[in-house]
Structure 1
Amino acid sequence: MVALVGGCLRVKPVETPAPSPVGEIDESTTRQALENEVPIGDEFSVKFETSKGDFIVEVHPAWAPRGAARFRELVEAGFYNENRFFRVVPGFMVQFGLNGDPGVQSKWRNSDFPDDPVAKSNTPGMVTFATAGPNSRTTQIFINYGNNAFLDEQGFSPFGVVTSGMDVVKAINSEYGERPDQSLIQTRGNAYLNSGFPKLDFVKTATLIPSEPATTEPAPTSEQQTPPSETKTTPAPISKPEQPTTPPETIEEIKN
């Protein structure tokens, strides 16, 4: 874990054992560990309309039920609307989740919720909450650009994945890097960002995609019935994960 001190990154000594490797935790383990205290809902998708284009996040509560529940709560509250992508590191990740209205942001600032076990790895396209330490997640999330498996051992648990529009996510303006000050975003909101970083890309709206109702088709008559057939398709080639470019050591949520 790292802390931001005087604008520099300082590595803290590890005080507790690292979580189990991702390969030893699966969705059934996560479900069994949490089913008595955290309801695990159905999968759902969220459409982000941004200044760069649209992308869709598919959320899997079985991966991280607490994270999925908080994300849905924030989306339904309209929290992510007009959020700026204030931290963009090519090859590593893009981070957002500070509301542009300081009044709204202050209501969520200390809404920490408990960590989830890490059930999936931080590979390209995975969506994960940022954190300021154990059990300190609130509203900030990031989307992995590279294969950031080193974040798994630090307790960063993905709750969703970009299923459409990853090209849009990768095209988000990165010219300001990590320069925007999270503390000033907290207190001054988009007024601060618009003044000092006017070219930041931003979320226009984030909305739940309505689930399609199940349809029951009538059984075919004897005249309509056809023998079963097997359709074979050629699988799509598996692309090699994009490697990060000397990434920072972790992803922080600053609460100063």
Structure 2
Amino acid sequence: MNKRILVVTLLIGVVLASCSAYQFRERWTKEQAPETFKARFETTQGNFDIEATRSLSPKAVDRLYQLIRRDYYKNIAIYRVVPDFVAQFGIYNDSLYNEMWAEYKIPDEPVKQSNESMTIAFARGGVETRSTQLYINLKDNKRLDTLQWSGVKGFPVIAKVVEGEGVVRKFYSGYGEAPGKEQGVIQSKGNTFLKDKYPKLDYIEQAYILK
């Protein structure tokens, strides 16, 4: 390959990588949420609104606020919908962006409100693993309040669906747990993989803070 072409090719690669990296700023993880706030999620089934309460889990609500403000929940699959259990989402299509947010884990906090129907919490797989994935309870899942999971107890509620429960209950659930077992592939291949293998999934098109 011509040296000039090689140099140009390398420069393009660096620029593209920088563009992706530029989407993320560490200072965003320092932002504090209001004591309460509402946000709207526009989905392929319609809109639903949530209300978050910071006192329930301050660090987690701060992260939710940060993620919504920075357009994290945009064109993102509701990839795990288990009837009479939960609807889960939060693996971003751009794996670099996802990995950057995931580096800043949310400190563990106690459960202060029960996992009742339509409440929302961060998913986690052990000590200080909450980062970007959320689930909506599709029924009263009070056992999640005290469930011991890889060294940590319970899943702290951070918000609740206050408008659009009917929308949430329409999310496609025919795949059950299957997509949830492929989280690593989803993170590396994104929506291309999901739309090919699980074409009926619903998506969050965008989310934003309501004033």
Range into which the TM-score falls when normalised by the shorter chain: 0.7 to 0.9
1:157 and 2:156 are equivalent in the alignment: yes
Q: TM-score, normalised by structure 2?
A: 0.79
* Alignment partner, residue 167 of structure 1: 166
Tell me which residue corresponds to 1:10: none
DSSP-derived class of the 1:95 partner: strand
Counterpart contact for 1:87–1:178, Cα < 8 Å: yes
Aligned-residue offset at 1:108: 2.0
1:78-157 → structure 2 map (5 Å cutoff): 78-154=71-147, 155-157=154-156
Q: Distance in 2 between matches of 1:209 and 1:41?
A: 12
Shift of 1:103: 2.3
Cα displacement string for residues 207-254 of structure 1 (whole angstroms, at most 9, x for unaligned residues) = 0001xxxxxxxxxxxxxxxxxxxxxxxxxxxxxxxxxxxxxxxxxxxx
Is the partner of 1:135 in helix, strand or coil? coil
Q: What is the CA-CA distance between 1:39 and the residue it aligns to?
A: 6.2
Q: Does 1:183 align with 2:189?
A: no
- Which structure has the highest strand share of the two? 2
Please give the TM-score of this superposition, normalised by the length of structure 1. Answer: 0.65
Give, in whole Å, the separation in 2 of the partners of 1:131 and 1:158.
12
Q: Secondary structure at the match of 1:62?
A: helix
Following the alignment from structure 2 to structure 1, what is the Cα–Cα distance between the partners of residues 38 and 90?
Answer: 18
Q: What is aligned with 2:63? A: 70
Asked if the contact 1:57/1:163 (under 8 Å) is kept, the reply is yes
CA distance in 2 between partners of 1:125 and 1:178 (Å): 19
* Cα distance in 2 for residues equivalent to 1:47 and 1:40: 16
Alignment check: 8 A CA contact 2:33 2:65 kept: no
Is 1:202 the equivalent of 2:203? Answer: yes
Q: What is the RMSD computed on CA atoms of the aligned residues? A: 1.4
Aligned-partner Cα distance in 2 for 1:106–1:199: 26
* Greater Cα radius of gyration, structure 1 or 2: 1
Deviation at 1:186, TM superposition (A): 1.0
Structure 1 runs not aligned, ≥5 long: 1-37, 211-256
Number of residue equivalences: 173
Q: Distance in 2 between matches of 1:150 and 1:127?
A: 14
CA distance in 2, matches of 1:143, 1:168: 12
Letter of the structure 2 residue corresponding to residue 184 of structure 1: V
Secondary structure of 1:58 counterpart:
strand
Of 27, 49, 54 in structure 2, the residue corresponding to residue 56 of structure 1 is: 49
Mapped to 1, the partners of 2:206 and 2:96 lie a distance apart of: 19
Opposite residue 45 of structure 2, the aligned amino acid is: K
Correspondence for 1:193: 194
- SS across alignment from 2:56: coil
1:14 alignment counterpart: none
Select the structure that is richer in helix: 2
CA distance in 2, matches of 1:124, 1:55: 14
